[in-house]
Structure 1
Amino acid sequence: MQFTPPQKTFAAWSLIAALLACVLWLLAPVLTPFVVAAVLAYALTPMVDWLDDLGRGRIPRMLAVIVVELVFIVAVLAVLLLMVPIVAKELPLLREQLPVLMDSVSTTLKPWLAQFGIHVALDVASIKSFVLTHLNGNVEDVVGSLLASLKLGGSVAFSLIGNAILIPVALFYLLMDWDRLVGQVRDLIPPRLRGSTDSFMAEADSVLGQYLRGQLLVMLILAVFYSVGLALFGLDLALPIGIFTGLAIFVPYLGFGIGLVLAALAGLLEFSAASGLGYTVIMVAVVYGAGQVVESLFLTPRLVGERIGLHPLAVIFALLAFGQLFGFVGVLIALPVSAVLLVAIRRVRTGYLASGLYQG
């Protein structure tokens, strides 16, 4: 059986894609910081190029890279620092409300479990004494406990610290040499294929740009939604928790989960004495339940999926499939990679419809 040149090209690219996917799957833990740095470099390179053009060659590219990377790091730290007022307000409330809260939970939980034949003996006094001892400790004691816990999970702490150092370093070198690296990859493409490849990359770049703009819009809408929703229930920390949750949505599931826990804890400490546990449960269920439904079924499929041409079901499937195959890194790259694959599928479909296989 003789293969036509387009079929040979398609088979070669399919083999390359399969080999690349296999390598990513095998080396996912090692590649995580480099993949994250590459995604960030792709997103931040236009800003570096803009500063470079603005200086008309008088500003060294290294300076433009440093400025852009510092601005990005400051923005990330600003999001993380939103937790400072949350912790500063919740710790004193935790000391005050914890004894009352634990008594309330104990008196509510025991009769409820007893209905199912489960009898639990909770030494509430000992638990309160243990927790309050740690909460009333000084900073040195807290730091010591934190360091001890980090020693228990040394590999996890080492990985987090290593990635925190490696990602900015890798990002710096990628931003410095991005155009040269892209040019070197392009030189590997046979000259007869460069026209179609350049066209493909231009279309993929356009789709990825639409994805980034759509994702940013989703984050801003959700930041406003969670802030307003929590404020309507009267939560004092509605603004920092809402903004943090909305912006952290960029990390699927993890950002939402942290925001939910922070809101639930703040609600328990603020409302448990006056309104009981039920008010906090209703607040979290309404605000975060509605937010998750709106984000999963409307905002992401419409503002991200439609911008890159993916059906809402395809968006959901891509997140689940890439998460299953590549873990956390897969969730991060699911939609960008799906956007590029969509461009490839469109071209293959167009070629197939114009080929003799379809016409015949």
Structure 2
Amino acid sequence: MMTEVLFWVCALLLVYVFAGYPAVLHLAGRVLPRRSVRQPHDSEPRVAVIVSVYNEVRVIEAKIRNFLELEYPPDRLELVVVSDGSTDGTDDVVRACSDARVRLLVQPRNMGKTVALNRAVAETDAEILLFTDANSMLDSGAVRHLVAEFADPMVGLASGTTMYTAAGGDGMYRRYEDMLKRMESRLFGIVGADGAIYAMRRALYEALDPALINDLLHPIQVVLAGRLPVQCEGAFCTEETPGTGGNEYRRQRRIMTQSWLVVLTCAGALARAGKWGFLWQVVSHKVLRWLVLPLMAAIFALNVPLAAASPLYGAVLFMQGLFYACAITFRNADNGMLKLPYLFLLMHASGVTGLVRCLRGETVVRWAPRAQ
């Protein structure tokens, strides 16, 4: 009896993570008052586009060209490039740009992205800070779309969306994430910005701990300051589709290690500030999803002794076995849909390893670009 109860508790939790939480967001969004829709306005605050780079000579020239093509008043826009100890000629490419709006700050050694961002913010007095990556090419209208969100004085952060060059499992995941963020924007704010394209008010920026990941911490800081982090549907950037092998797993593991540290560090502050709605979103959107793999393992283990008792449990066990068999069989498939079970398990494995590393006291401050 207890085995059956535990099985259904785990199964319902798994369903809640992927279907229940979006359903609750949808219903709550229909019942609770909506945030007023932003209106076009004439304000053109000064914007600093901030990029931390470490050995990005492969893409930095394209990034500078991308900045120069942005549709925003030139005298209200600057690009701050922080070279975090680059040794591959990245600095020379930036120095070769004759546009006075492109500024280069050089770190004497590789100190980590967060340290670089802290320095960049300290070196600019722009009202809006737009954070992006060297390999992320902003849409020409992205700045205007993001800035328009700040017409609402309650908005403290606005996040865009990364579009990948090839479709597949990542495309499905992105669309699912975008749906969640749109609904979260109507309630207590988005849980996590897109690190490749998001903007926040300069007045709300606080110097970050080097071991914490900025795109998850910044929305939390904005909420604690009494403002809203929102999703901007018109702002996007493009990137090459990330890999799916060991390098991508290590990247996800690094992100998860930093993300767990953010949640464990900030959960108490959110509770003390009475931000229970946003904390519920953090647990539902992030924490429970990061624990999906242990949930799936528990469901499988509990299902085995139940399979002989009922055809229903036998069928469920068969479906689980089929899923894992597909993950193993098609892990090297070129077809994104066939590879989806493997990608799903790979992504959620990083949540577990990230937690283990975090509990061991491991931190991640520095890392190499994805292409290296």
Q: Please classify the TM superposition score into its range, dividing by the shorter chain length.
A: under 0.3
Relative to its length, the structure with more helix (as a share) is 1
TM-score of the superposition, structure 2-length normalised? 0.24
Higher CA-based Rg? 1
TM-score of the superposition, structure 1-length normalised? 0.24
